[in-house]
A and B are shown apart, each in its own frame.
Chain A
Amino acid sequence: MGIVSAFELLAKYHSIFLLGLRNTLILTATAFSIGFALGITIAVLREFGPKPIRHLLAAYVEIIRGTPMLLQLFIVYYALPAIGIVLPPIAAAILGMGLNSGAYQSEYYRAAIRAIPRGQYEAALSLGMTTRQLIEVLAIPMAVRIAFPSMVNELVYLLKYSSIAYFLTVIELTYAGKIVGAETFQYLEVYTIIAIIYFALSMAIVRFCKFVESRIRVPGLGAPEATRGLI
């Protein structure tokens, strides 16, 4: 192996690497977004919604967390057609990962909603806010700030686990590596390249999120600034 042959590989098979990269980014970004919307909705309904809905959503979260994500993807891709829902591989992967991430994300937001000091809710109520107004003005904006570090973890996690879309025949980064490897038998070079790309993407996400966090950070809320650098 060598650096030269790695670059040669990249040059020769750049279109398939790029396709893999593109699909990995699409999977990660869309699954995270679906998971975010679903997670916030579940969290809010479980904290403020009517009892039967709370129980229903609690059951959903437990089922998702108690079964493998790969199995969930198989159900969406292979089992849903039995009831007439046929999705292309990438759509099935996005949906499956989004439904999965939504369950996990809902737990972060729920914990965050509960971490909002009681006095904040009392202040909102005393101004005459309805539950709906209080959710919009207080619960969601604060919960997102409090849960932000967990959101970054989830995003990096999804980036890496988007590789299981491979099993639904989606040509994402890992699958692209497999294809090039099978053609060239230069598995070491190929998988080293793939690993570096994943690592670079993770670092970029973490960096970017640090920047976003610094923009939405509010003094006195979330990770205390004062302790940074001290520990």
Chain B
Amino acid sequence: MSGEILRVDNLWKSYSETPVLRGVSFEVLRGEVKVIMGPSGSGKSTLLRCINLLVRPDKGRISLEGKEVFPKPYDSIHRIRQKIGFVFQSYNLFLHMTVLDNVRVGLIKVKKLSKEEATKRAMEALRIVGIGPELWNKYPAQLSGGQQQRVAIARAIAMEPTIMLMDEPTSALDPELVGEVLNVIRDLAKQKMTMLIVTHELDFALEVADEIMVLDGGKIVERGKPSEILNNPKHPRTRRFIERLRRRVEHGHR
């Protein structure tokens, strides 16, 4: 078996005549971390949503571990989604459930694990993201943004996905909370979790990414080693975009 986890081929998506993705192709190998960057509206979220079929692409091909997911899914969409962890910009924890229930509900209802087994796994996942027992019975609204996002990561990894998709996991956070979430993702990268991350955290990308892909106008305009892309971008638009990000960091804005 090849080490290829995700393959996206010539993916197209339009919203009422407006093309958002215009022929995107790339692959993610087992244990790799790939980062997607690009200006607002370039189609980053749409791309991630297409991969776990929250959005239906118009054209192209997606496969997971060599098996076709789109256009002809090899299995039910629900079972395919179980293999793809998704972390949202706005956390999206279930508001009416405690931290522990948020993490184990998927294990109990979707994976049909016993409550004991699910609880054990949920606790393990929470431990990995550094959420201690004192928070397990709290509701999402009682947590900080950083804690909520770490619980959301725990909820995703507890399902033991083959790949994690993260859509700007730190961009809704106050600056002082970004670090704790990035540290968790760093740990996952060290554990060789396969990940596709949309982020504009330059230092983080430089450190963990195997490759950075720059999306602009629905196309990957540039891709390569993080050091090349960040220090020596070839495309003039990429250069301007990265300079803008640098300035934002220097001024402390996000």
Residues of A whose CB lies within 8 Å of any CB of B are 117, 119-120, 122-130, 133, 136-138, 141-142, 145, 218-221
Contacts and interface: CB of A to CB of B under 8 A. Distances in A.
Contact of B93 (A123, A126, A129, A130): A123
Nearest to B88: A119
Interface in B127-178: 139-142, 152, 155-156, 159
A98 B86 CA distance: 43
B95 A127 contact: no
A112 to B, nearest CB: 12
B91 to A, nearest CB: 8
A127 B106 contact: yes
Given A123-B93, A124-B94, A127-B105, 8 more contacts: A120-B95, A122-B92, A126-B81, A126-B156, A218-B96, A218-B141, A219-B141, A220-B140
B74 to A, nearest CB: 15
Given A119-B90, A219-B142, A220-B139, A128 B159 contact: yes
A218 B82 contact: no
Contacts of B202: none
A218 to B, nearest CB: 5
A120 B94 CA distance: 6
Interface of A is mostly: helix
Interface string B62-86: 0000000000000000111110111
B115 interface: no
B109 A133 contact: yes
10 contacts: A119-B92, A120-B92, A126-B85, A126-B88, A127-B81, A128-B106, A129-B110, A136-B109, A220-B95, A221-B95
Contact of B78 (A129, A142, A219): A129
A119 B106 CA distance: 16
Contacts of B80: 128
Contacts of B85: 126
Nearest to B152: A123
Contacts of A218: 95-96, 139, 141
Nearest to B138: A219
A171 B78 CA distance: 54
A138 B140 CA distance: 15
B97 to A, nearest CB: 8
Nearest to A128: B82
B194 interface: no
A128 B86 CA distance: 10
Given A129-B110, A220-B139, A220-B140, A145 B96 contact: yes
B64 to A, nearest CB: 13
A145 B141 CA distance: 15
B96 A125 contact: no
A192 B135 CA distance: 54
Nearest to A129: B110
Interface string B48-59: 000010100000
A138 to B, nearest CB: 7
A128 B79 contact: yes
Leading 5 A-B pairs by shortest Cβ distance: A220-B141, A128-B82, A126-B86, A127-B106, A119-B92
